[in-house]
């Protein structure tokens, strides 16, 4: 086994009056990719912050290897206004003990690896997916020994998730990743750790893929259930003996009494652990209408900002159908869902709904939730009795159905976790029978157990389902049909996510070829090249030795010219401003050329 980077011993942590974990011990090793899973509220995010040294435990210790670099990627990424993509990456390496030119080179290399074409783009204006890429880059550009990543696939589309998988596979850093994306875990994880109070040690660890973990967890739970039944039978015999035994006992009998008490306590702890993992209950009720065609869209078209998202599209949503909408970020998935629901008119074509169609919508933005409202009123607006399908139930068992404890009922909705807010929305969708369920990224922030409950509920729902999710396994499990968007107005019907991805790759190749042909219509054949020599020539060695000084001088020149541009006297003089701007642009181009040459020589020098 590889050397350890960080080890946690007997960790304890509680939030308010609720214990997250106690006596938790875990060790993470070099080069190991670990998937960290567990139910919402188990303390996964808290554990990552403790390992990163951001938050202290209530008890226990965390020991990191001397000199080990640990990077932390939180769930929510935020960048200050006005900071460019390249500036964000440079800021991430500013604290490292590296020469200035090497920090710049490292930031620019990461810029290319992340796939950004414009390093000057404002970081705070990026889409959620590209902002997540940048946040991941800011963690990994530090060349950490261990990177702790909290739900990195949130906000990433299929292309982004594929990119992240390849990125992690090529990285030398060990990682601990919390994720509810089972397909992602299957592909990248070499070890799975489930944080859950139902295990005697507070966690269950398996080396191998996610599918290996599922097999071994099932075997463990079956064995534990068998042990619990055997212990229960043993306790029944001991209790019966205690009832029959005389009050006056010898030392041997007294010893048996103590053993009986210990068995009873063990059985109580085992049952408490087993009952602590109760799943959310979902049972979407259909209206029972017999109409076959619920939504019929013909020739619909929609665009924004001069960009056509889809055109001449025909969609039919029938009773019992389960339609998935797939596409990369910003291709119009949510827009199509809103057009089909009637919340947004198409630019062209028509959308017809069945008479008095009832639709339940899960909005990924959670706009229907009031962050200041208490959970009690969000779940039951009219009092402490909930009306569900014509029946009345008290709010406490209703709340428990969605995984909420009674002491959470007076918490503001805005203070709930993302997964808990998602469960509130599902509770609202559940109260009345509907014809169509429309869900926009419902799996964001849900734990794996809740995702699996949602899958089963959607499969059992007799009405129609329209689903957007980046959870590939859910799409493959639930949906019978897929509409795939390609971002340029084109679309298609596909039988699987893989089929859509193949079509998307062909579209991207066609677009790249078209752009290339437009740029170089009469490009000549490249000249023949000689085989490259490895290592530096004598003159190149001299150039290499002077490169650091030349880069430093060029950076100082750029900084000096930037200061001129920032001078109000220059800024208010159009002629001087124009001259300074041209000089600054030339100096920056010169610096870029030096960096490119530095990297070329560095790569060639590596062959010596």
432 shares its domain with 564: no
528 domain residue, yes or no: no
472 shares its domain with 600: no
**Is the C-alpha dihedral spanning 59, 61, 62, 67 positive or negative?**
positive
The total of structural domains in the chain comes to: 4
127 shares its domain with 12: yes
Q: What pLDDT, on the 0 to 100 scale, is given for residue 557?
A: 85
Distance set, CA 481 to CA 202, 321, 459, 496, 502 (Å): 41, 8, 14, 8, 16
420 shares its domain with 331: yes
What is the DSSP secondary structure assignment for residue 42, as one 8-state letter? S
Strands 348-353 and 18-29: unpaired
38 domain residue, yes or no: yes
Q: What pLDDT, on the 0 to 100 scale, is given for residue 182?
A: 94
224 shares its domain with 308: no
**Is the C-alpha dihedral spanning 540, 541, 543, 544 positive or negative?**
positive
**Environment class of residue 469 by beta-carbon count within 10 Å: exposed (0-12), middle (13-18) or buried (19+)?**
buried
How many CB atoms are closer than 10 A to CB 146? 24
**Closest CA relative to residue 184, chosen from 33, 58, 308:** 33
Whether 443 and 451 have beta carbons less than 8 Å apart is answered as yes
pLDDT digits (tens, 9 = 90+) for 10-47: 999 998 767 899 999 999 999 999 999 998 888 999 99
516 domain residue, yes or no: no
Distance of alpha carbon 544 from alpha carbon 528, whole angstroms:
27
494 shares its domain with 435: yes
86 domain residue, yes or no: yes
Encoding tokens for residue 210?
């996610």
381 shares its domain with 355: yes
CATH code for the domain of 544: 1.10.287
Question: Is the entire prediction scored with pTM above 0.85?
Answer: no
524 domain residue, yes or no: no
533 domain residue, yes or no: no
CATH code for the domain of 74: 3.40.50.300
Encoding tokens for residue 302?
């929609």
Domain limits at 450?
293-509
Residue in this structure with the two tokens 């992340």, named with its chain if needed: 114
160 shares its domain with 240: no
589 shares its domain with 457: no
232 shares its domain with 374: no
pLDDT digits (tens, 9 = 90+) for 514-535: 765 655 444 433 333 333 344 6
Listed as ranges, residues in the chain with pLDDT below 50 are 248, 520-534, 607-608
311 shares its domain with 449: yes
261 shares its domain with 366: no
288 domain residue, yes or no: no
Q: What pLDDT, on the 0 to 100 scale, is given for residue 136?
A: 93
Three-state SS across 284-353? CCECCCCCCEEEEEEEEEEEECCEEEEEEEEEEEECCCEEEEECCCCCCHHHHHHHHHCCCCCCEEEEEE
Residue in this structure with the two tokens 């559940």, named with its chain if needed: 430
195 domain residue, yes or no: yes
* Residues contacting 238, CB < 8 A, separation 6+: 256, 259, 260, 263, 264
Q: What pLDDT, on the 0 to 100 scale, is given for residue 112?
A: 87
**Closest CA relative to residue 493, chosen from 504, 483, 478, 485:** 483
How many CB atoms are closer than 10 A to CB 536? 17
Q: What pLDDT, on the 0 to 100 scale, is given for residue 59?
A: 96
Distance of alpha carbon 429 from alpha carbon 435, whole angstroms:
12
- Element containing residue 511 per DSSP (H, E): helix 497-519
Q: What pLDDT, on the 0 to 100 scale, is given for residue 188?
A: 95
Q: What pLDDT, on the 0 to 100 scale, is given for residue 519?
A: 53
């Amino acid at each position: 086994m590889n050397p350890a980077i960080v080890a946690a011993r007997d960790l304890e942590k509680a939030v308010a009056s609720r214990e997250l974990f106690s006596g938790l011990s875990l060790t993470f090793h070099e080069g190991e990719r670990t998937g960290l899973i567990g139910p919402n509220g188990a303390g996964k995010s808290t554990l990552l912050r403790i390992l990163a040294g951001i938050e202290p435990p209530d008890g226990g210790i965390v020991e990191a290897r001397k000199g080990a670099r640990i990077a932390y990627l939180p769930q929510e990424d935020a960048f200050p206004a006005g900071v460019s993509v390249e500036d964000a990456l440079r800021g991430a390496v500013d604290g490292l003990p590296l020469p200035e030119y090497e920090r710049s080179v490292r930031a620019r290399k990461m810029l290319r690896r992340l796939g950004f074409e414009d390093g000057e783009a404002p970081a705070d204006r990026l889409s959620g997916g590209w902002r997540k890429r940048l946040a991941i880059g800011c963690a990994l550009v530090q060349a950490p020994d261990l990177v702790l990543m909290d739900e990195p696939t949130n906000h990433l589309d299929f292309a982004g998730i594929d990119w992240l998988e390849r990125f992690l596979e090529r990285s030398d850093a060990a990682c601990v990743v919390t994720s509810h994306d089972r397909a992602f875990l299957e592909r990248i994880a070499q070890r799975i750790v489930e944080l859950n109070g139902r295990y005697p040690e507070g966690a269950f660890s398996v080396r191998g893929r996610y599918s290996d973990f599922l097999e071994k967890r099932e075997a463990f739970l079956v064995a534990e259930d068998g042990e619990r039944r055997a212990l229960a039978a043993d306790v029944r015999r001991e209790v019966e003996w205690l009832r029959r035994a005389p009050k006056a006992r010898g030392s041997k009998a007294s010893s048996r009494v103590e053993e009986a008490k210990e068995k009873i306590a063990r059985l109580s702890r085992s049952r408490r652990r087993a009952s602590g993992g109760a799943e959310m209950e979902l049972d979407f009720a259909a209206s029972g209408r017999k109409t076959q065609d619920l939504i019929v869209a013909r020739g619909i078209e929609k665009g924004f900002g001069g960009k056509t998202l889809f055109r001449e599209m025909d969609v039919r949503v029938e009773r019992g159908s389960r339609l998935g909408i797939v596409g990369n970020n910003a291709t119009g998935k949510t827009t199509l869902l809103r057009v089909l629901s009637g919340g947004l008119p198409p630019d062209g074509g028509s959308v017809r709904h069945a008479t008095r169609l009832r639709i339940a919508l899960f909005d990924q933005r959670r706009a229907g939730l009031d962050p200041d409202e208490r959970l009690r009123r969000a779940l039951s607006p009219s009092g402490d009795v909930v009306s569900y399908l014509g029946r009345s139930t008290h709010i406490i068992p209703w709340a428990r159905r969605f995984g909420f404890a009674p002491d959470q009922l007076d918490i503001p909705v805005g203070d709930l976790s993302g997964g808990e807010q998602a469960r509130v929305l599902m509770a609202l969708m559940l109260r009345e029978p509907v014809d169509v369920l429309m869900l926009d990224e419902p799996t964001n922030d849900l734990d794996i157990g809740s995702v699996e409950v949602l899958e089963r509920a959607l499969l059992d729902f007799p009405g129609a389902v329209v689903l957007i999710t980046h959870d590939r396994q859910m799409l493959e499990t639930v949906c019978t049909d897929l509409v795939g968007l390609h971002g340029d107005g084109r679309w298609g019907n596909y039988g699987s996510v893989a089929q859509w991805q193949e079509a998307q790759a062909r579209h991207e190749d066609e677009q790249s070829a078209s752009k290339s042909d437009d740029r170089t219509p009469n490009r000549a054949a490249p000249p023949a090249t000689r085989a490259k020599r490895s290592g530096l020539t004598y003159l190149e060695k001299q150039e290499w030795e002077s490169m650091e000084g030349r880069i430093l001088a060029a950076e100082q020149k750029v900084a000096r010219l930037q200061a001129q541009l920032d001078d109000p006297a220059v800024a208010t003089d159009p002629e001087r401003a124009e001259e300074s701007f041209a000089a600054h642009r030339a100096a920056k181009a010169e610096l870029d050329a030096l960096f490119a040459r530095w990297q070329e020589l560095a790569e060639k020098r590596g062959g010596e």
